[in-house]
Structure 1
Amino acid sequence: MWLKTLKKQAFLLIVVLGTFTGQVFASNVKMADEQNLQVYLEQVIGQGKARNYKNLDELNRVSAWIKEQMRLLGVPCHYQNFTANQQIYRNVVCSLNVGRADRVIVGAHYDVFGDQDGADDNASGVAGVIETARILAEQKSKLPNNVDFVFYSLEEPPFSKTEQMGSYVHAKSVQSQKDKIKGVYILEMIGYFDENLVQEYPAGLKWVYPQHGNFIAAVSNLQSYALGSQYCQSMRALDRLECQRFIAPAFVSGMEFSDHLNYWKFGIPSMMITDTGSFRNKHYHSKTDTLKTLNLAKMANVVDGLVYSLLTPIQP
């Protein structure tokens, strides 16, 4: 009996110390700025043509702006060109090198489906990656890994789930280095929250998860279990926005609708951070997916959780 009591006391001490350390550490992290997020969103959305695969000039405008914005943050970038439908498209690959042996990847797609602003899908993800880069560039001495920030083209139909996706091109290009990649974090729609709506789910999940739409989801497979776990732990440590974990193989409908899938194909641990997309946001793939529908404060919370997670060594 005394042994059980001793073990319990030791466990409680570890929890208390871990919580205290987390709170102190979190207080030292420079947090995401809502005004920055708004500026990034406005620049990505623009005022001209929609950034879909038919409007190559607009895609090039956005990718060039991303590259320059990242340069201003002190993170150098290059274009990763690839061909689809006899046109040249490009990913923007940016590296924050802090002299570590391993690295993580943080990514988001910048193209849209059809003729729409695509504020949540996926200007929100792009803005989140850029703001994450800004904070980490200022905190780089604390990073346990090098960080690559990747902005993908051609995530949307008609290229989704094909080898012409920008993320497939990138995942294939790093497969030989996968032993050095600790994990991939994909930001896919991170700006839509509504605690009053009834949250929808893939078949069978509504009995397990909240009915409200006021949480961020961490989607992983078994290989990337640690990534999802650590992200939600970071969100809990910051105590700002509820985080729900979803663990499922790629064949489960609704879990595979973004760029993380392509890293799974190459055996690279990857997770998606999302507001659950079409399961919550009824503006999905429509002209009403505009900036005014987004909650910038909660977007900032999502970024804070990612920053906190990336500043913490990934636990196996």
Structure 2
Amino acid sequence: MHGDAMRAVASLAIASLALASCVALQMPGKRARGPLPAPSGELVALESRLRTHVEELAGRIGPRHRSRPGSLGEARDYIEWAWRRSGLTVHREPYASAHGGGVNLWTELGPSAGPLWVVSAHYDTVANSPGADDDASGVAALLELGARLAPEFAAHPERHERLRLVAFDDEETPAPAMGSTFHARALAAQGAEVRGMLSLEMLGAYDTAPDTQRFPVALLGLWYSTRADYLAFVGDWDSRELVRRCVGAFRACSPLPCEGMAAPRALRDIARSDHSQFWKIGVPALMVTDTSEFRYAHYHKRSDTPEKLDYRRLALATDGVAGVVRVLCSRAPNR
């Protein structure tokens, strides 16, 4: 068989596997439909804080690439300041790599030991993009998760499993130089019992018009909406139960539509964030995403600027993810 024909057959096989996996994995709950409800005062305030974070990271600081160490340093300082303002203790995790290394930042909520859940976003960008959606939107949500959940976890640590929030460096650098690679390996070396990991990877781009959502495999359009109005929880087949739990919890607490997908790793687009490094240590992990360039024309461009984002839906996404984390970290009475 000629090379082109072989590639065509392989692509068809991958598409069929991916579609079969998605169809086979029925998601709990009902997808939200119709117009969004009027926002509460709390949601409006959250929207304002998220906008402030994005404007600071992507507007004032701008591109956060290893070729701009000063900008990366400013971003780290801002993340640390925001978490400390929420009463959290912040740890810096420097690491060395062939690309020069970087620094992850993390903080923990809840009990001081025991099973661990990880939620992350990355604060670096490609060289010339200010990275408002990719991934200042995820970092903004991560900072607000800390602010919102810290009082709850501190008041009743016995009701929660441990939660680690991580701001990763070098997501835009190929593995094994990614900050998440070093962090995942360190957790494995420590023998940490990591129950699951969620990577917040671009949360701010939405469009309710028809035919605004594209897919890495065209057949997926038979199963998922072609309106880019939803948040997606995307994992590999081994993480399918985590995907189901997250989708069910999100749909139970948020009016923002969401979808779930668990597919074979042969569909490479499902691995395009820090969660994939946790698969390598045997941890169920997924990406929470607006689907990146499959709906957002400014991906990895100079035009990925703060005014492009939908802050109302970013606030709903953040609020919904907080609800998901509460469910995941809830300690059952018999544990």
Superposition TM-score tier, normalisation by shorter sequence: 0.7 to 0.9
Q: Cα offset for 1:99? A: 4.4
2 CA distance for matches of 1:112 and 1:213? Answer: 23
2 CA distance for matches of 1:268 and 1:117? Answer: 31
Q: What is the aligned partner in structure 2 of residue 200 from structure 1?
A: 214
Distance 1:205 1:46, change over 3 A: same
Contact 2:130 2:305 in 1 (8 A): yes
Q: Cα offset for 1:54? A: 0.5
Q: Cα offset for 1:179? A: 5.8
Give the 3-state SS of the residue equivalent to 1:235 in structure 2.
Answer: helix
Q: What is the aligned partner in structure 2 of residue 61 from structure 1?
A: 74
2 CA distance for matches of 1:221 and 1:86? Answer: 28
Question: What pairs with 1:246-285 in structure 2 (closer than 5 Å)?
Answer: 246-285=261-300
Gap runs ≥5 in structure 2: 1-27, 29-41, 331-335
Contact 1:201 1:279 in 2 (8 A): yes
Distance 1:190 1:48, change over 3 A: closer
Q: Cα offset for 1:287? A: 1.2
Gap runs ≥5 in structure 1: 1-14, 16-29
Contact 2:256 2:316 in 1 (8 A): yes
1 CA distance for matches of 2:85 and 2:130? Answer: 25
2 CA distance for matches of 1:199 and 1:86? Answer: 35
2 CA distance for matches of 1:212 and 1:49? Answer: 30
Q: Deviations over 1:179-199 (max 9, x none)?
A: 621111100000000011521
Q: What is the aligned partner in structure 1 of residue 145 from structure 2?
A: 132
Distance 1:48 1:138, change over 3 A: closer
Q: Does 1:216 align with 2:231?
A: yes
Contact 2:206 2:229 in 1 (8 A): yes
Q: What is the aligned partner in structure 2 of residue 154 from structure 1?
A: 170
Q: Cα offset for 1:253? A: 2.6
Q: What is the aligned partner in structure 1 of residue 105 from structure 2?
A: 92
Contact 1:182 1:314 in 2 (8 A): no
Match of 1:115 among 120, 124, 128: 128
Letter in 1 for 2:216: P
Aligned-pair Cα RMSD in Å:
2.2
Q: What is the aligned partner in structure 2 of residue 307 from structure 1?
A: 322
Q: Deviations over 1:59-102 (max 9, x none)?
A: 11101211121111111111111123463410111112334521
Q: Cα offset for 1:112? A: 0.6
2 CA distance for matches of 1:86 and 1:186? Answer: 23
Q: Deviations over 1:149-201 (max 9, x none)?
A: 11111111xx22x1100011111111145662111110000000001152111
Q: Does 1:174 align with 2:187?
A: yes
2 CA distance for matches of 1:178 and 1:222? Answer: 24
Please report the TM-score for the alignment, with normalisation by the length of structure 2. Answer: 0.80
1 CA distance for matches of 2:111 and 2:91? Answer: 18
Q: What is the aligned partner in structure 2 of residue 191 from structure 1?
A: 204
Letter in 1 for 2:236: N
Contact 1:52 1:111 in 2 (8 A): yes
Distance 1:279 1:313, change over 3 A: closer
Distance 1:296 1:48, change over 3 A: closer
Q: Which moved more, 1:82-91 or 1:210-219?
A: 82-91
Q: Does 1:297 align with 2:300?
A: no
Q: Cα offset for 1:313? A: 4.1
Q: What is the aligned partner in structure 2 of residue 22 from structure 1?
A: none
Q: What is the aligned partner in structure 1 of residue 83 from structure 2?
A: 70
Distance 1:314 1:221, change over 3 A: farther
Please report the TM-score for the alignment, with normalisation by the length of structure 1. Answer: 0.84
Give the 3-state SS of the residue equivalent to 2:237 in structure 1.
Answer: coil
Letter in 2 for 1:199: Q
2 CA distance for matches of 1:306 and 1:227? Answer: 13
Distance 1:198 1:107, change over 3 A: same
Give the 3-state SS of the residue equivalent to 2:268 in structure 1.
Answer: coil
Give the 3-state SS of the residue equivalent to 1:244 in structure 2.
Answer: strand
1 CA distance for matches of 2:270 and 2:179? Answer: 19
Q: What is the aligned partner in structure 1 of residue 48 from structure 2?
A: 35
1 CA distance for matches of 2:318 and 2:163? Answer: 15
Q: Which moved more, 1:297-306 or 1:255-264?
A: 297-306
Distance 1:272 1:178, change over 3 A: farther
Distance 1:261 1:310, change over 3 A: same
Work out the percentage of aligned pairs sharing the same amino acid.
29
